[in-house]
Amino acid sequence: AGPLVVCSNRLGGPAQLERGIEHFVSRGGLDIEGLGSETVALLVGEGLVREPADLFDLTPDDLLELEGFAETRSRKLAAAIQSARKTELARFIYGLGIPEVGATVARVLATEFRDLTVLRETTAERLEEVEGIGPIMSEKITEFFNDDARAASVDAILSKGFDLIPPPERESGRRDGESVVFTGRLKSVTRSEAKKRVEGRGDRVVSSVSSRTGYLVKGERPGSKADKAEKLGVTVLDEEAFLERYPAAET
């Protein structure tokens, strides 16, 4: 499981809370300078932060109570925390610590849904239509947002006046060629070579099949992806057809 920023005292103990906050404010998350693991441990240990939302109520005077904090450092950190309320939607999603959702998937979700409320209310079925998101990941995401304690913690954070910025429209609407899924073993090329060929044509390789998948490449001993592709009407290429469509780059 991921760090689960919302494993605060609603869901767990101080150690879980510390790990969750560290992930929330990490470089891939809100990226709050000066808020490292030692400072997080102090804030939790002193009882100044009992859940992630409490961070955004901290004043320079509160921080002065911490060991090693003088006026300048306290003022800088308080300002950095407040400015982090305006952040990219993808960073916020990543920072929540949803199991299976790393920085790349967080960007995909932000691009696809563009609004945290829409993402929180979406279904597992809708999530599976998104390239690269399979059944396990979609289940983890919906479980996370449907959990009452986690939902309350996210609501508490949002109540502090966040401005979550979606990706630029051009990124949302962009389609970099076709998406290609592989299943089974190819005899004449390695999987990494096959991926290079796909990317060399401006297409992209993804891990799961959805209605938006361009091609499923079926090798020997294919898995369940082949059945799903056929049900969804996705074009299936055997190895010969794949090699014809994606020839080796000329040298």
Please tell me the predicted confidence (pLDDT) of residue 61: 96
Please tell me the predicted confidence (pLDDT) of residue 142: 97
Please tell me the predicted confidence (pLDDT) of residue 250: 64
Torsion over CA of 202, 207, 213 and 218, rounded to 10 degrees? 90
CA-to-CA dists, residue 75 to 33, 34, 114, 223, 245, angstroms: 12, 11, 33, 57, 60
Band (pLDDT 50/70/90 cuts) for residue 248 is confident
Q: Which residue has the tokens 């990124």?
A: 171
Please tell me the predicted confidence (pLDDT) of residue 134: 85
Yes or no: say if 53 and 159 are a contact pair by the CB < 8 Å rule: yes
With a cut of 70, say whether residue 64 has pLDDT above it: yes
Task: Kindly state the average pLDDT of the residues 166-181.
Answer: 65
Considering only residues 172 and 112, tell me which one the structure prediction assigns the higher pLDDT.
112
Segment 194-244, tens digit of pLDDT: 998 988 888 888 888 887 888 999 999 998 999 999 888 889 999 999 999
| 177 phi/psi in degrees, rounded to 5 | 70, -160
Task: Kindly state the average pLDDT of the residues 77-88.
Answer: 97
The β-bridge relationship of strands 204-205 and 179-183 is: parallel
Task: Kindly state the average pLDDT of the residues 120-136.
Answer: 88
Task: Kindly state the average pLDDT of the residues 80-85.
Answer: 98
CA angle 153, 128, 235 (to 5 degrees): 165
Tokens standing for 248? 């080796």
Considering only residues 168 and 49, tell me which one the structure prediction assigns the higher pLDDT.
49
- Please return the burial class of 248, using the count of CB atoms within 10 Å of its CB with bins 0-12, 13-18 and 19+: exposed
Segment 8-41, tens digit of pLDDT: 455 568 899 999 999 999 999 999 999 999 999 9
DSSP assignment of the chain: ----TT-STTTS-HHHHHHHHHHHTSTTTT--TT--HHHHHHHHHTTS-SSGGGGGG--HHHHHTSTT--HHHHHHHHHHHHHTTEEEHHHHHHHTT-TT--HHHHHHHHHHH-SHHHHHH--HHHHHTSTT--HHHHHHHHHHHH-HHHHHHHHHHHTTT-EEEPPPHHHHH---S-EEEEESB-SSS-HHHHHHHHHHTT-EE-SS--TT--EEEE-BS--HHHHHHHHHT-EEEEHHHHHHHSPPPP-
Task: Give domain limits for the chain.
Answer: 1-174, 179-245
At 59, the amino acid letter reads T
Please tell me the predicted confidence (pLDDT) of residue 10: 55
Please tell me the predicted confidence (pLDDT) of residue 205: 87
> What is the C-alpha to C-alpha distance for residues 125 and 105, in angstroms, rounded to an integer?
17
User: Which CATH number is 1-174's, of 1.10.150.20, 1.10.579.10, 1.20.58.760, 3.40.50.720?
Assistant: 1.10.150.20
Segment 89-109, tens digit of pLDDT: 999 999 999 998 998 889 889
Q: What is the CATH number of domain 179-245?
A: 3.40.50.10190
